[in-house]
Structure 1
Amino acid sequence: MLAPWTRDGRVRAEVVDVAPEVAGTIVDIPVHDNQLIHKGDVLFVIDPVRFRIAQAQARAAVAAARDDRALKLSDAQRRQGLAGVVSEAEQDRFRSTASVANAQLDAATAALDLANLNLERSIIRAPVNGYVTNLRLRVGDYATVGQPRVAVIDTDSFWVSGYFEETKLARIHEGDPARMKLMGYAAPLTGHVETIARGINDRNSAPNAYGLQDVNPVFTWVRLGQRIPVRIGIDTVPPGVVLAAGMTCTVSVGDEAARPQGVVGRVLARLESRI
């Protein structure tokens, strides 16, 4: 029995849209389009001058708040030792003033932490290993908070989506071996079935203006099987094969796909390689 197979396979990968967490003018871009990068590499740098000034201001505020707290604590302690001379109300007032000074120091310290963090985040680094793709960034561009500026294809996330007819799903199981033949390469990839999708879009389920299902009245006599996505994890990639998200391939699944091919299998494989 021939293994379940489909010509409708696609190489896929996760794409990370890198967006800055601080705004400013871009002053350096040490990467170029389609460059291989590693996690932690610098992608681009936002002008740090404003963030360094904010950091210096925050440090000065912490120093002032620390001195003010020391003075307020000293005043409160002196009045605490003058029981009978200083009224209880005045002692409470100075204790409250010291508590406020302590809180102000905490706030100034938090502001300094934020200034340090903003300065650190003016250097945008790669969150994953991958390839920079479709780089349109230039020195002098203005970076806005939360707006993606660099796309990175995660090289550790490649997989294959095979779209199998529903009539073939009974012979496909999670963990089954799989073989993927890319259109541009002769050597096949090997892998295994990771998951099977549990749903696809039903065009008849869309409601109309009254909330009722809009069922297509036309039903053809030739009924085509729906194609269900099957996620294939890639185990081995032959030397010299360059994977790119969006590539097409033929996918076969099951024990038959991993066994030596007979005459019919070799004929089909040759036909498959020429499609």
Structure 2
Amino acid sequence: MITLGSNEQRACCTPGKGLERRRAPRTPRPNGRPSRLAGIAALVFAIGAVAGCSRGGNEGYVSNMHVPVLVAKAVRKTVADEIHAIGKVEAHSTVDIKAQINGQVLEVHFHEGQDVKKGDLLFTIDPRPYQAALLQAQANLAKDQAQLAQAKADYERYAYLLKKRVGSQQQYDQALAAYQGLKASVAADEAAVQTAQVNLSYTRIHSPIDGRTGNLIVHAGNLVKANADTAMVTINQIRPVYVDFSIPEKDL
């Protein structure tokens, strides 16, 4: 505690409490200028002491404050070089779906922008004409197979008679020609049946790849032609994709 003052009053400075004035008992003092100067000097000294006490208290408060900081352990590792460029994303593969037969589209089994899997059904074309063609080819095959069986029996009979010198060579030759001709007819009928089966399978168009469908060009009820110039729909394979971009030579 610091006590300052003259005969009339005293100033007390206590740390943490500031300046406190206390009156002193009055004592007779002679009038004069030196007493006033002493009082002014005492007041200035008291103000300086109070300011010193205030600064000391603030510095102690600031020194006790803690500022949080973030720290990290320094490590050494490889940093990849990055090059920024503008590119264009392209599909891995693109397939144009076209009809392989003529006919009317009965049903569309997908929506535009739909993801499809390989083998998913896309379109159904009216199969009735191709079912009839298959039945006709199968009937022709059955008829020729029956005739072939008869021609084979005739051929074997005339061959036996000729061997026994009972039949004529002409009859044998005619039976052989009929038998071989019907064998060829049966082979042609079998090919016709296979063709009719393939055409019938073309009435159901399936996706050849996994991908995403584009704009739908042909809708149900439209007539389509085999191998038309315009695709019925386009499928883009997007997994994976290609990215086409250019890099300046100075960055290589």
TM-score, normalised relative to structure 2: 0.63
Please give the alpha-carbon distance, in whole angstroms, between the structure 2 residues aligned to 1:143 and 1:28: 13
Please give the alpha-carbon distance, in whole angstroms, between the structure 1 residues aligned to 2:80 and 2:239: 32
Q: Which residue of 2 aligns with 1:18?
A: 97
For the pair 1:5 / 2:5, whether they are aligned, the reply is no
Cα offset, 1:89, TM superposition? 3.3
Cα offset, 1:3, TM superposition? 4.3
Divergent runs of 4+, >4 A: 1-4
Q: Deviations over 1:122-162 (max 9, x none)?
A: 10000001111111321111111112211111133412111
Instruction: Report the residue type matching 1:9 in the other structure.
Output: G
Alpha-carbon RMSD:
1.8
For the pair 1:68 / 2:147, whether they are aligned, the reply is yes
Structure 1 or 2: more helix by fraction: 2
Identity %: 26
What runs of 5+ residues in structure 1 fail to find an aligned partner?
Answer: 172-275
Written as runs of structure 1 = structure 2, the 5 A alignment for 1:84-233 is 84-147=165-228, 148-168=231-251, 171=252
How many residues of Structure 1 are paired with residues of Structure 2 in the alignment? Answer: 169
Query: Secondary structure of 1:33's match?
Result: coil
Structure number with greater Rg is 2
Query: Secondary structure of 2:149's match?
Result: helix
Q: Which residue of 2 aligns with 1:35?
A: 114
Query: Secondary structure of 1:62's match?
Result: helix
Higher relative contact order (Cα pairs below 8 Å, separated by 6+ residues):
1
Please give the alpha-carbon distance, in whole angstroms, between the structure 2 residues aligned to 1:59 and 1:3: 69
Please give the alpha-carbon distance, in whole angstroms, between the structure 1 residues aligned to 2:157 and 2:90: 71
Query: Secondary structure of 1:11's match?
Result: strand
Residue 7 to residue 62, structure 1, CA distance change in 2 (3 Å): same
Query: Secondary structure of 2:188's match?
Result: helix
Cα offset, 1:48, TM superposition? 0.4
Residue 167 to residue 90, structure 1, CA distance change in 2 (3 Å): farther
User: In 2, are the aligned partners of 1:131 and 1:154 still within 8 Å (CA)?
Assistant: yes
Please give the alpha-carbon distance, in whole angstroms, between the structure 2 residues aligned to 1:155 and 1:22: 29
User: In 2, are the aligned partners of 1:11 and 1:160 still within 8 Å (CA)?
Assistant: yes
Please give the alpha-carbon distance, in whole angstroms, between the structure 2 residues aligned to 1:2 and 1:56: 68
User: In 2, are the aligned partners of 1:6 and 1:162 still within 8 Å (CA)?
Assistant: no
Please give the alpha-carbon distance, in whole angstroms, between the structure 2 residues aligned to 1:3 and 1:19: 46
Cα offset, 1:33, TM superposition? 0.6
Q: Which residue of 2 aligns with 1:273?
A: none
Please give the alpha-carbon distance, in whole angstroms, between the structure 2 residues aligned to 1:81 and 1:118: 45
